Structure 1
Amino acid sequence: MKRFKADSQMSETTQSQRNGFLRHVPLMVIFAVAVFGFFVLGDYLTFETLRDNREALLGWRDTHYWSMATGFMVIYIVIVAFSLPGAAVASMTGGFLFGLYAGTVFNVVSATIGASAIFLAASWGLGASLTARLESSEGAVKKLKEGLRENEISVLFLLRLVPVVPFFVANLVPALVGVKFRNFLLTTALGIIPGGIVYTWIGVGLGGVFDRGENPDVSLLWEPFVIGPILGLCFLAALPIFIKSIQGKKDA
Structure 2
Amino acid sequence: MKRFIPLILIIIAIILFFSFGLQQYLSFNALQENNQILQQFTKNHFIVAALSFCLLYIISVTLSIPGATLLTIAGGLLFGSFFGTIFVVISATIGACLLFLAVRTSFGELLSNKAGPRLKQLEAGFQENSFNYLLTLRLIPIFPFWLLNIAPALLKMQLKPYTIATFLGIIPGSFVYVSLGDGLEHLFSLGKTPDLSIIFRPKILIPIIGLAVLSLLPVLYKKIKQK
Supply the AA of the counterpart residue of 1:79: S
Q: CA deviation at 1:236?
A: 1.4
Separation of aligned partners in 2, 1:130 and 1:42: 29
* TM-superposed deviation, 1:26: 1.2
Among candidates 29, 32, 44, match of residue 9 of structure 2:
29
Shift of 1:84: 1.0
More off after superposition, 230-239 vs 89-98: 230-239
For residue 117 of structure 1, the aligned residue among 87, 92, 98 is 98
- 1:119/1:175 contact within 8 Å kept: yes
Name 2:146's counterpart in structure 1. Answer: 168
Distance 1:86 1:186, change over 3 A: same
- Pick from 83, 106, 109: which aligns with 2:64? 83
- Residue aligning to 2:191: 213
Change (3 A) 1:240 1:38: farther
| Secondary structure in structure 2 of the residue aligned to 1:178 | coil
Query: Post-superposition shift, 1:32?
Result: 4.0
Q: How does 1:83-232 map to 2 (within 5 A)?
A: 83-130=64-111, 148-232=126-210
Q: Distance in 1 between matches of 2:180 and 2:97?
A: 25
**Given the alignment, which residue of 212, 216, 224 partners 1:238?**
216
Give the superposition deviation at 1:35.
5.1
Contact 2:138/2:170 (<8 A) preserved = yes
AA aligned opposite 2:77: F
Report if aligned partners of 1:74, 1:110 keep a CA contact under 8 Å in 2.
yes
* Equivalence for 1:66: 47
- Of structures 1 and 2, the larger Rg is shown by 1
**Structure 2: distance between partners of 1:236 and 1:38:** 41
Identity of aligned residues (%): 38
Normalised by the size of structure 1, how large is the TM-score?
A: 0.80
Q: Which moved more, 1:231-240 or 1:111-120?
A: 231-240
- Size of the aligned set, in residue pairs, is 219
* Matched position secondary structure for 2:103: helix
State the one-letter code of the partner of 1:26: P
Distance 1:24 1:82 in 2: 15
Which letter maps to 2:23? G
Aligned counterpart in structure 1 of residue 30 of structure 2, from 32, 35, 49 = 49
Unaligned runs of 5+ in 1: 1-20, 135-140
- Could you tell me how far 1:243 is from its partner in structure 2? 3.4
Per the TM alignment, residue 128 of structure 1 is displaced from its structure 2 partner at its CA by 5.0
1:27–1:125 CA contact under 8 A, matched in 2: yes
Q: Look up the SS of the partner of 1:164 in the other structure.
A: coil
Q: Distance in 1 between matches of 2:126 and 2:191?
A: 48
Counterpart AA for 1:51: Q
CA contact (8 A) 1:23 1:125 kept: yes
Secondary structure at 1:83 match in 2: coil
CA RMSD of aligned residues (A): 2.1
- For the residue of structure 2 that corresponds to 1:216, the secondary structure is coil
Give the TM-score taking structure 2 as reference length.
0.89
Whether the 8 Å CA contact 1:112–1:189 is kept in 2: the answer is yes
89-98 or 43-52, which deviates more:
43-52
User: 8 Å contact 2:25–2:31 — kept in the other structure?
Assistant: no
Tell me the CA shift for residue 38 of structure 1.
5.5
Q: Which moved more, 1:212-221 or 1:100-109?
A: 212-221
Work out whether residues 41 and 85 of structure 1, in 8 Å CA contact, stay in contact via their aligned partners in 2. no
